[in-house]
Structure 1
Amino acid sequence: MQQAWRAALLRFDAHGQAVHDSDGLLVTQRDAAGVRRVVAAGSHATLAPQFAQVPVTHLPGRLIAPGFVDMHVHYPQLDVIGSPADGLLPWLEHYTFPHEARFADPAHAAEVAAFFCGELARHGVTTALTFCTSHPASVDALFTEAQTRGLRLIAGKCLQDRHSPDGVRDETGQSLIDTEALIKKWHGVDRLGYAITPRFAPTSTEAQLRGAGALAAQYPAVWIQSHVAENVDEIAWARALFPDSRSYLAIYADHGLMRRRAVYAHCIHFHDDDRALMRDTHTAAAVCPTSNLFLGSGFFDFAGAERVPFAHGLASDVGGGTSFSPFVTMRAAYFAGRAASTGVEPKPGISLSPERLWWLHTAGAARALDLQGVVGNLQPGCEADFVVLNPGATPLLARRTAQAETLAELLFALIVLGDDRVVERTVISQAK
């Protein structure tokens, strides 16, 4: 059965340009697998005669936009968000690892997974690439919850067989056995995908990284995720542990962990040869502006990523990141873009347009995840994950958006002044 919604409508064309209908119509229909897909999207005046018999939900004053895509988030770090620390490594030692040790308990993992998935949906995030802990039970708990809710979610067990405390450190051989078993159990089930997940190079031995690379070659449809070039102390540590690799990023390439569907968070302290390696291997960056600011790591060089172009999109990085809200993330990305880069090749800042920021958290992020045309957009054939946004959710926002004369002004007001109150409803394409 087809179903339609009438409201202002935002989507993106094949070139990443925003397409806006001030009075739009979105028509959807479930496929044989039970996934609701977009049948048509465009002007109400144009489409209404063709779909006159389809039930319509009219939402005056609202904006329907693609569900947001979060390219990097840690569900086990839900309870360490907002924890003070001097920087990345002390934060991991004092907060993250002790909390992650608790995920050996399946009941604890299930309780956090339920809250986490609820927060994603409440903030309008309908697709996420997610870290679990080193415990297989943490993966099972998250996938079970996401499957129940119909979320499109990609996740994986952390691989960390050294330089990690008791309770989160795993054993090399067993970690790879567990990873393969989880791939076979969960990858491709409903809207779920598996990601091979070395925590970051310093917490894996060469044997574990080689094993992860072998699994990545054996299962080319799964994703790969890790961290790289976030913090100068971390970079020095990685280079000391892997002296034969050209750079921190090259460690992953040297172990078969850079390819399409590989995503590395942060990518701050890059040279152009690192950017070229990302480009040439079709590897993507998850840009995490709120955690980079919170932990004092530096700023992603958006200009560099355009000069030597490689795929990238936005991410919350909760719990180092400070909010699940895509509006907070887009706002921080705008600030970070305007700032001069603090990377190894300092560059002047650039001004990211509101349309570009929105694309980087929807269709652009989907493209970086190799899910272009599947999620992150509302073009025909896409899975119908979308959000209903209220531009008048707060008095100040209502006052500002009422004066918006262009799409750019409307989107920018939502980015600067918006938060979870803007998200009136989140629609999941496979929700029962």
Structure 2
Amino acid sequence: MPQIQRWYKGFSYRGNPQELVKQISEQVQRHNLGKFVPLLRVEKGAKSRKQFYFFLAVESLQEGEIPTEVQSTLLQLSFFTSAIKGSPSLTYEQIKPMVGVAHDVYEYTNNIPYQPVQQLTCDNPFDLIESVSINNSLIDIDMSRRYEQLLYWLSALGSGTWESFKEACAALKIEEPRRILRRLRLLGYIEFSPDGYRWSIARIAIVKILSDSNLQEFILCGSRSINLLEKLTHQTTLELINQPRGEAPPCVRIQADNPSIISNLIEELSKEFSIINAGEVSKLLANILPELITWKQSLRNLQGIVPSLYEWELFDGNDFVSCALPRETGMYRMYNTKISDRPLHTLFYENGCWFQGDWYGLRFLALQHIGQQCIARYEVETKRLAIPVSQRLPEIYERALVLASGILPKYFNSWLLYENVERDVMLQICYKLHINCGGESTHV
């Protein structure tokens, strides 16, 4: 299969950099260009009414070749009239010294300063799957191998600091380490300390998943090594399944005729590896996870914040807007513009408490607080669950969905699609997070 190349096209522009990011993001989403244009980087310190450079990340089979779909739509905007001459294509290493944080124009993450209101495209997202233009089947094999090398390195090291994690990503030319860290946590490979300073590799775990065949199926979580995979290959039927777009290490799926084979396998491997039979983790997590309010109270409460010393933005359900001192409950971004244009923290404020957690989790709390109905759609026949991109779940709840298959969700327009999710797991998650799942009753 041909390998997808990621490269950058540079432009100069005089105007409002914030408006540039907003309009380009809107166009990418409107024309479903996410598979060609995954992110945008703007020159550090870019200011309105002054000329600055920005760089469009392009993914194509041939470096320097802009897909026709991008040329006929996105590049018609006035922002793209002044391309950097003499450089048809640039690498991240070439532009790294002069650019700031990436603005992801496809996923909604902590790095996106502008979030256009996203309209759900269909009451039933499963009707979209066959015709949707975002191609989840394109796999960047080179990137997939780099993620696998990263997992091998992390497994060999065992634990380390956030700085060591970033350095490992940089050495393998893997961008956006925070996003990578989240994917590895969702897949059960790694854990991170509450203060965000240290990581540790998870113990090797054989996790049972639902199977449509007569065979028992399992996935491999935690630490990974070539030696371990070789031993598994000799003793079981093992399959490597690439993640959507190759954006994480391949999933290792194991098949066995009966559970006793796995029990014997673990007993044999335990002589050399620290390994456990973790059971049906998706079900276990769904059962033990608390309701949303209890989960919120378990979040780390930052102490000693003096609001008057900082500038603040409040999430209004679609975007962050400037505000005075925080008074009402909600999700806030906290700035010290004398130090940096980037937020120091993103926090959820309530009754004098400053809760720190994963960005999607804080946004989910904010959406529920302002009364936005959170929804999902479930297809019983295929056991697929769809969640709106704009309502992505708190990380620990999403992990229960991901570990039902060992595969990260696929993107279909405005929806995230999770595979192999048992109905009971769906009902538990929806009930605990107050999600309306179509015609399904979520009372448990």
Which TM-score band (shorter chain)?
under 0.3
Instruction: Flag the structure with larger Rg.
Output: 2
Superposition TM-score, scaled by structure 2 size = 0.27
Higher helix share: 1
> TM-score, normalising length from structure 1?
0.28
Q: Which has the higher contact order (CA 8 A, sep 6+)?
A: 1
